[in-house]
Structures are given as C-alpha cells and as structure tokens.
A and B are shown apart, each in its own frame.
Chain A
C-alpha cells in the first residue's frame, strides 16, 4: 500500500496536525512502509473470527448515577494557556 503526498496532507488535516512541507516526503515514505508491514495481516483468513476489543472481554461497568466530582475550576484553569473570567479563551470563531 503506497501513499502519495496528497494523501498524507489529507490525513494530517483530518488529524489537525501541521506538517512542515519539507517533511511531507519523509512521512509519505515512512507511512507507506509501515502500511506495507501492516498488509502482512491480509495473508490470514479471518472471515469467521470475532473481532477482539478487550483482552478480558469485559463489558462496560456501570456506577450509580451520583455526583462524585467537585468543582475544581480554579485548580484546572491555573495551567490553562489563556483564560478570562473563568472561561478558556480561543481565537474568535464567529466574525
């Protein structure tokens, strides 16, 4: 399976990941060889196999619907890049 630079740019956009234009060739080459490695899986016949999501085949545990968290806004926002009046600031979304 071989990717081209356009594929890598498209995937990077989906991942919201800025890739330096001069590095794209290298990523394309690396990702293509990783996908070649992965393609070895296709030699196994898995038509009748049930997919495995969890080693212990556990089901999601439920808990009583009670409030267990306390408000720690100040503690959490102390490490935020930019806040104002208890809100996280980001660039303007709506002009």
Chain B
C-alpha cells in the first residue's frame, strides 16, 4: 500500500519500525503536495520549518521521547497564527501578516512533535461555504474539480481527501469543519464550544468559533483532538473540564445506543438520494445494536435567521481591529485618519466579509439592538433548549450534514442566500454549542455524502466511539478520489 494511504497509527508504527524516517515521510508528502497545485489547497508551504521539525522528530523517535503524533505530517488551517510564518486567514488584509506568536493549537501540535508542512486555504475570515471567498482563489474538490470542496475549511478537507496530508486542523462557526468534510468524504469533528482553545485562532464570531480535527478516520481524528483539546488560561471562554483519553473507548460496542432522528432534518429540503443513503447508514447502527427514535426539534428552522444576526454582529466587532494602523494592509496615500481606516478596510476585505460587517453593524446600531441581536439571542436559547431536551431522551442525534452533495464552482457565489442555506443542518449545533461530527456515509452520483452525529456537551469520546464502530463495518472513509489513490 502507498504510504499516502496509511493512518496515523500505521505511520507511527512505520516510524518506530524504521521503515521510514520522519524526514523521508515529510519529503514524500511535500513532493506530493507540489504535484497537485491544481487543487489550490495550500496558501503557504513551510518546507524549511517542516524539515527541521522532522529532524527533531527523528531524534525524539531515536531517544524514546516520541508521542503518537511525533513525526507525522499535518497542516494548519491558515486561521491559526504560526510564529514567523505568514498567517493570512484567506484575506488580502493579512497577506503580509507574519504572526508574532503561535496559536495554542499550534503550540500543542508542535509540542506533540507533529510536523507542520504548511498553511491551508480557506474562505476569507472563515466566512463562506465553498472556499470561493478566498483571496488566494478557490480550492477544488478532488472528487470532481468542477465542484467546490465546501468551506470555510475547504483547503483542510480537500488536502486530506486527496491524501496530500495525513490530517489537518479546521474551525467551525456554522459548519466550516463538517460541511467540507461531507463534501470531500472525510471525517471532521466540531468539538463542544470551549473544548479547543481559541487563543491565536483569528476570531470571526467568538461565541460560536471552535477549532477541531479533520482526518480520514475517527481514530485519526481522536489522536489529533487529544493533542488539540484542553483548558487554556489564555482563552477566557476555554472550558476547564478534564480531557478524557479519546482512544480508550473507540472499541466500545454500541449495544443499547439510543439514536434520535430529528424529523425537521428529514424534510423535502433534503435531496432524496442523500436521504436514502443516510437511511442505509443509520441502518448499519441498528445492526450494531442501536435503537432509533424519532424526535422533534421545532425551533431548528430558526437557526439560519438567528445565526445571520449573531455571527455578523460578533464579526463586525471582531473585524474592527483591522484598521491599517498596527499590522495588515494599509491603503496608499491616505488623506487623513478616517480615509486610512475606511479605504484600508474597503480595499482589503472581500465582498462576503463586507456584507457580514454591514449586517452586523446595522443590527448593533442605535435603535435596532432589541429587534435584532436580543431577539436572536432569545431564539438561540429556544434552539439550545431543543437540543437539551432531545439529548436528555437519546444519546446522540443523527442527520444530514448538507442538503446536497458538493455543488459546482460559481453555482452559488453570486447568491448569498442560497450559499447560507447550504449550512441549514450544521448551524444550529454551533448555536447550541454541542459537539458534532461528519463521517463518510456513502455516495450519490460518485460524490461523497456525510452523516452528521451530534452529541451532548463534552461527549466527543462518545461521538468518536460511534464513528469508529461505523468505520469498522463500512469502508466509505477509505475511498479515495480517482487520480489520488
């Protein structure tokens, strides 16, 4: 088997058995990344950094201080600050930004000995569902390069699907890990809000943003999450809850597992072929001993309206820091200070980012706060209560990740409403703050379909266990796009 098909566990074994060194592995992966510029997954390749990290990893492997991730090639979404390395967040605003510090996630993965090969393309400031909003051009879906990989973590998903990298980091504010994972046929996990530190993760909507792993299998995702998760005093909303051993329960049988299917997820909006594919996947769980119950979550349909107030409101505040004064883009020859602010921002932000700043500014402006922001926060409570109620009756909820498979490039890029509706099944989870996964569950017209598994607060271990058991009896997660085998 090609080394590009090996899992983290298999690679870690290969490194220990001396089949290859981390330097060799790193060079092989760098070579493969360079062979596929057409996918446009990477904004920056950090070749020198990677080779010196691989050298260090080989020393750790030799002297017995290696951990499971030591020497394994990974890549970071370009939203995570990396000391001394360009960190663009997919924006012209940060095209010249060399981060002066590491995000906590980057620190943690570096400390584990994982070798970062580069920074991954994404929708500008994580706003988008197709990766077409990147200043660096769209990423292509390796399953069909005429289609989008999803977004905003499009580079992360496409790179894993094409076997250009073993595993990646992503972030998810309204579906940005799960939707691209579904479109590209990989495994993605959005942890509980606060599980993974947001320090050094460039902020979009701070009450929703959450980093997480993207990998080929639940087992690999568990290994990555183990390193990423944990309390961080540098993040004021970091959860001070112990991190379990995410691999300890992977093999636990699913006997007696109670699965709830929200009826609001299975309506006419869902493509019928996807519905049939998901039905087959859910049937696998009954074979594994699970029972299925229908549940109702009546306020789910209000998730998109509430999200498009809360997220833009938070984004308009967060992105006010980009003013052309201390770092980032500055316009040429500003006439005065106001001109410097408005023109720097106007010239460096893309259309979707501007739209969201405008919506957020409007919703928070004098006289509108109660009608928009306060109303959205109340709707958020109702949605969150729906999840609490449903998850008191069942262990997990299952449903679609996306209403269709990956859509064509340019299909929705001029219609923001249609683009927003592609996140209809993922957004409510961020509003509630609970964890959710997307796992490969089949194909429709040769394009991957994702199954969403939603759990209770801090039940990442349970989600990973359920996903892993499914992946023991199915091989959807091992399918590789043609030309990338």
A interface, CB within 8 angstroms of B: 3, 7-8, 11-20, 23, 27, 30-31, 33-35, 37-42, 44, 46, 49-56, 58, 60-61, 63, 72, 75-76, 78-82, 88, 90-93
Contacts and interface: CB of A to CB of B under 8 A. Distances in A.
A38 B308 contact: yes
A41 B305 contact: yes
A91 B346 contact: no
Contact of B336 (A49, A51, A91): A91
Given A38-B305, A91-B334, A51 B345 contact: no
B100 A75 contact: yes
Contact of B365 (A14, A16, A27): A14
B316 interface: yes
A17 B346 contact: yes
A30 B416 contact: yes
B361 A52 contact: no
Contacts of B417: 33-34, 37
Contacts of B139: none
Contact of B96 (A51, A76, A79): A79
A37 B342 contact: no
Contacts of B324: 81
Given A79-B327, A92-B336, 9 more contacts: A11-B362, A15-B320, A27-B355, A37-B420, A38-B305, A63-B233, A72-B100, A79-B98, A93-B336
Interface string B415-451: 0110010000000000111100000000000000000
A51 B374 contact: yes
A3 B320 CA distance: 23
Contacts of B325: 80-81, 88, 90
A31 B239 CA distance: 36
Nearest to B346: A18
B341 interface: yes
8 contacts: A3-B362, A15-B358, A19-B354, A34-B355, A56-B457, A63-B233, A76-B326, A81-B325
B248 interface: no
B358 A8 contact: yes
Contact of B306 (A31, A35, A41, A80): A41
Interface stretch (B21-29, B279-287, B378-386): B378-386
Contact of A44 (B97, B302, B327, B354): B302
Contact of A91 (B240, B337, B357, B359): B337
A40 B308 CA distance: 11
Contacts of B299: 44
A80 B434 CA distance: 39
The B interface, classified by DSSP as helix, strand, loop or mixed, is helix
A88 B376 CA distance: 39
Interface string B366-401: 000000101111111110100000000000000000
Interface residues of B, number: 72
Contact of B308 (A13, A34, A53): A34
A80 B376 CA distance: 37
A91 B334 CA distance: 7
Contact of B382 (A34, A49, A61, A81): A49
Contacts of B306: 41
A20 B347 CA distance: 9
The A interface, classified by DSSP as helix, strand, loop or mixed, is loop
Contacts of A90: 325, 334, 337, 340
Nearest to B433: A55
Contacts of A91: 334-337, 339-340
A60 B346 contact: no
A5 B349 CA distance: 20
A82 B192 CA distance: 41
A58 to B, nearest CB: 6
Given A27-B354, A37-B420, A53 B327 contact: no
Contact of A11 (B233, B345, B358, B384): B358
A26 to B, nearest CB: 8
Given A16-B338, A18-B346, A52-B384, A41 B379 contact: yes
Contacts of A42: 375
Interface string B443-468: 00000000000000100000000000
What are the 5 tightest A-B residue pairs by CB atom distance, in nearest-first order? A55-B433, A18-B346, A51-B377, A81-B330, A46-B378
Contacts of B431: 55
A46 B96 CA distance: 46
B331 to A, nearest CB: 9
A18 B358 contact: no
Given A17-B349, A37-B417, A49-B378, A56 B354 contact: no
A33 B52 CA distance: 51
B8 interface: no
A56 to B, nearest CB: 6
Contact of A15 (B98, B357, B416): B357
B36 interface: no
Nearest to A61: B236
B194 A56 contact: yes
